[in-house]
């Protein structure tokens, strides 16, 4: 892994301050639209407090002194990210706890692990894929009955599963295995519905539901029925590699599923930014009284 910004032997306080502001801005890009979408006192207060933290770091005044002080700013933001969309709260909470255990074990082993650096390694791919997905999703929302828009959304699901979701899941699995952390399943964390059990060559593993959907779409194991202004899709992939994925979506349930999946991916990435920010502040920016 490349040299970490959080390694105090390689970074000065000014560099750490600028990096902290960058991570705060990344998080606000995710949080501010949530606040606009669903104005709630607890979300508004968390955002106000978080922006106050940004101002303190930007001006280096008043200085931050204790980890408890930092916690008062960051825990409300963590709660907003994890709890905003109840169908994925369990997954995001598990992800947060798993990442904290990975950080603890990596510290014990004197290894440098800071979650957001994983994203930095393929930032361009993430950015490009997200931009393309958001463009396709916008067109789908405008005209969900257009067959070209439907097929484009299916294609983008295939692409995002390969370029983003697969990387996130495999990276988490590798870290849980490396540090022998039990009680977490990356496939379950990155699934909206229960993951799909696969038995192949004497081994059992689990696919995320997004991967199973991706495979069905990519291998033409779907049948779309359009009735006037409403469509539905039936997927039936009795895979030769040891699993059977069978699922029906209506137009609405498919749109809901894709939205939740998008929030799940973004939520885990924002939590990685938050954990890295937490490390920068507590490691490099606290000042003694």
Q: What is the 3-state secondary structure (H, E, C) of 165-192?
A: HHHHHHHHHHHHHHCCCCCCCHHHHCCC
Residue 9 pLDDT = 54
Say whether pLDDT at 36 is over 80: yes
**Does residue 6 form part of some domain?**
no
**Does residue 3 form part of some domain?**
no
Indicate the average pLDDT of the chain: 91
- Long-range contacts of 131-138, Cβ-Cβ distance < 8 Å, separation of 24 or more: 132/156, 132/159, 133/159, 133/160, 133/262, 137/258, 137/262
Say whether pLDDT at 8 is over 60: no
Residue 4 pLDDT = 47
Q: Which domain holds residue 21?
A: 13-285
pLDDT band at 27 (very low <50, low <70, confident <90, very high): very high
List the strands of the sheet with 243-250, edge to edge.
222-227, 230-239, 243-250
pLDDT band at 10 (very low <50, low <70, confident <90, very high): low
Residue 48 pLDDT = 95
Of all residues in the chain, what percent carry a pLDDT higher than 70?
97
**Does residue 4 form part of some domain?**
no
Residue 5 pLDDT = 52
Residues 6+ apart with CB under 8 A from 124: none
Residue of 248, 216, 250 whose CA lies nearest to 231? 250
**Does residue 2 form part of some domain?**
no
Say whether pLDDT at 277 is over 60: yes
pTM reported for the whole predicted model: 0.92
**Does residue 206 form part of some domain?**
yes
Distance, in Å, from the CA atom of 157 to the CA atom of 163, rounded to the nearest integer, reads 10
Say whether pLDDT at 134 is over 70: yes
pLDDT band at 230 (very low <50, low <70, confident <90, very high): confident
- In the chain, the number of structural domains is 1
Of all residues in the chain, what percent carry a pLDDT higher than 90?
75
**Does residue 156 form part of some domain?**
yes
Say whether pLDDT at 7 is over 70: no
**Does residue 138 form part of some domain?**
yes
**Does residue 7 form part of some domain?**
no
- Tens-place pLDDT, residues 186-219: 999 999 999 999 998 888 989 999 999 999 999 9
Residue 1 pLDDT = 30
- Tens-place pLDDT, residues 61-90: 899 999 999 999 999 999 999 999 999 999
Q: Which one is predicted more confidently, 124 or 84?
A: 84
Distance, in Å, from the CA atom of 124 to the CA atom of 117, rounded to the nearest integer, reads 13
């Amino acid at each position: 892994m490349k040299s970490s910004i959080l390694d105090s032997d390689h970074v000065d306080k000014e560099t750490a301050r600028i990096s902290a502001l960058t991570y705060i801005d990344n998080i606000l890009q995710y949080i501010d639209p949530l606040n606009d979408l669903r104005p709630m006192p607890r979300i508004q207060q968390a955002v106000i407090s978080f922006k106050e933290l940004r101002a303190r770091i930007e001006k280096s005044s008043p200085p931050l002194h204790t980890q408890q002080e930092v916690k008062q700013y960051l825990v409300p933001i963590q709660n907003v990210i994890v709890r905003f969309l109840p169908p994925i709260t369990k997954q995001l909470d598990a992800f947060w706890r798993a990442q904290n255990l990975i950080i603890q074990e990596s510290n014990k082993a004197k290894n440098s692990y800071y979650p957001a650096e994983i994203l930095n390694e393929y930032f361009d791919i993430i950015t490009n894929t997200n931009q393309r997905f958001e463009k396709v999703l916008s067109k789908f929302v405008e005209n969900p009955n257009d067959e070209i828009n439907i097929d484009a959304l299916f294609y983008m699901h295939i692409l995002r599963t390969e370029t983003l979701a697969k990387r996130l899941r495999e990276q988490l699995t590798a870290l849980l295995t490396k540090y022998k952390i039990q009680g977490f399943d990356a496939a379950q964390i990155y699934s909206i519905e229960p993951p799909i059990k696969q038995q192949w060559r004497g081994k059992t593993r689990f696919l995320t539901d997004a991967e199973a959907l991706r495979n069905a779409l990519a291998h033409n194991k779907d049948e779309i029925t359009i009735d006037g202004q409403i469509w539905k899709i039936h997927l039936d992939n009795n895979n030769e590699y040891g699993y059977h994925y069978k699922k029906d979506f209506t137009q609405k349930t498919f749109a809901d599923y894709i939205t939740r999946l998008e929030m799940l991916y973004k939520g885990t990435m924002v939590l990685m930014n938050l954990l890295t920010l937490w490390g920068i502040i507590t490691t490099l920016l606290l000042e003694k009284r």
